[in-house]
Amino acid sequence: MQPFAGHKGHWEKDLYVAHNATVMNKNMLLLSIATAAATLFSGCQQDEVADNTPNVRALTVQEQKTVESSNDFAFRAFAQLSEEEQDNVFISPLSISMALTMTYNGANGATKEAMRETLGFQLNSDEDINKSYKELDALLKGVDKKVVFTSANSLWHRNDFKLQAPFAETNKTYFNATVKGLDFASPTAKDQINSWVKSNTNGKIEKIVEEVTPRHVLFLVNAIYFKGTWTYPFDKKLTKPGPFRKEDGNTITHDFMTMKNGKYLYFQDQTKEVIDLPYGNQQYSMTIVMPKADRTVQQVVEELSDANLNSWLSAADTSKLELHMPKFKLEYGKKLNQMLEQQGMGIAFSPQADFSRMLEGQAGLAISEVMHKTFVEVNEEGTEAAAATSVGMVLTSIPSSIRIDRPFVFLIREKSSNAILFIGKLMQPE
């Protein structure tokens, strides 16, 4: 799938498209879950906050297991999507995981177990799973005063349907979800949801719901927002065109940024180079993994795991070498049904699905679609990115300088927890 068009001023268009109802049983009602995530930068951020001390604490056992589960899902999902897509890919696995975990709270029986396996949950109880997300969210919000991280959740139900109390209370307690009934027949219903999304992504995602049909019964929405600048910004005066070598052997000319007086972690072996560029007080970073000339990005993707990533970064040295990397902007959209089905969640999309813990008097919910669309821009000051996910449901050797001039994998992550917020591959900068 090609990255969808309109990234220059038209990112708000077509963020969400409802699933074609003709493939659904005529007696079924639609339920939709959506997540949105955004990472943004601010040139004045370092002036806004003077405190540069990381607020780091040890993770609880539950948090460690949740991060491991989320990262494992991230690597599996990204590897499958990367294999399917020859072009740029960019997703927010944390946002997807949070949305699906809220959905999991309404699942039962074999459907619940399939989602548990797909999401890689290691904790024994639902309470531990939910509690660990709440604690991790608090950690991510407070670990770096020079980086803003927020997350918000909401449940928007058709006002003639009622959520089951345990399902609603669980998502209120652990995901701080706002619950609101709407007249889904009103043409302004989608506008109210989209306004909430826009507010909770600092205006970067203006529309996630394109249409509310009479057969929709619920929208679950997650929004993540990240705002940070490079700890060592690139000098805008040094940005100039240079060659970027694509995997097909062709070379394109693109703008490259230059960092002359920065510090970052650097590791290389026979197959790859790893660069870890910090944001803010260095708790958040962008980790770039670039294959060497005789290797492909997909070979790097297949190596990605928590263990390997930690091993590479543990072996990395602090480098002050001049660094050159491309400015880039990309957008990506993908329906995730096939990926999730292949990861083991097929029953959740079928008439045999059991989401009987969601709505009072309605036991036949099934997922109709999972849509995920993203935006990212990297420039001299920092990183700007946004992601939106919707899940529809139905009843039923050291060089003199380092140059990142080939396709690469990149991650945005928090170091003390090792949580991955975003992961992508850049095959061609735009």
- Domain positions in the chain are 21-229+328-396, 236-327+399-412+418-426
Work out the pLDDT band at 49, boundaries 50, 70, 90: very low
The sign one gets for the Cα dihedral 10, 4, 423, 57 is positive
For residue 176, give the DSSP letter. -
Residue 13 has pLDDT above 50, yes or no: no
Q: Please give the Cα distance from 79 to 119 (Å, whole number).
A: 15
For domain 236-327+399-412+418-426, give the CATH number.
2.30.39.10
Work out the pLDDT band at 12, boundaries 50, 70, 90: very low
Q: Which range, of 104-113, 121-130, 302-311, 374-383, averages the lowest pLDDT? A: 374-383
Span between the terminal Cα atoms of the chain, in Å: 16
Beta-bridge mates of residue 410? 288, 424
Q: Given this model, what pLDDT does residue 385 score?
A: 62
> What is the H or E stretch that residue 113 is in?
helix 109-119
Q: Please give the Cα distance from 210 to 181 (Å, whole number).
A: 18
Please state, for a pLDDT cut of 90, what percent of the chain lies above it. 45
Q: Which range, of 101-110, 227-236, 281-290, 340-349, averages the lowest pLDDT? A: 227-236
Angle value at C-alpha 52, between 47 and 56, nearest 5 degrees: 140
- Per the listing, tokens 């074609």 go with 20
Of 43, 22, 40, 18, residue with least CA distance to 31: 18
Mean pLDDT of 26-51: 51
Q: Helix (H, G, I), strand (E, B), or coil: what is residue 142?
A: helix
Q: Please give the Cα distance from 96 to 140 (Å, whole number).
A: 16
Q: Please give the Cα distance from 408 to 265 (Å, whole number).
A: 16
pLDDT in tens, 144-202: 888 888 888 988 888 988 999 999 999 999 999 999 999 988 999 989 988 888 888 88
Answer whether 336's CB lies under 8 Å from 371's CB. yes
Q: Helix (H, G, I), strand (E, B), or coil: what is residue 273?
A: strand
Mean pLDDT of 289-295: 91
Mean pLDDT of 259-283: 93
- CATH 3.30.497.10 corresponds to the domain 21-229+328-396: yes
Work out the pLDDT band at 130, boundaries 50, 70, 90: very high
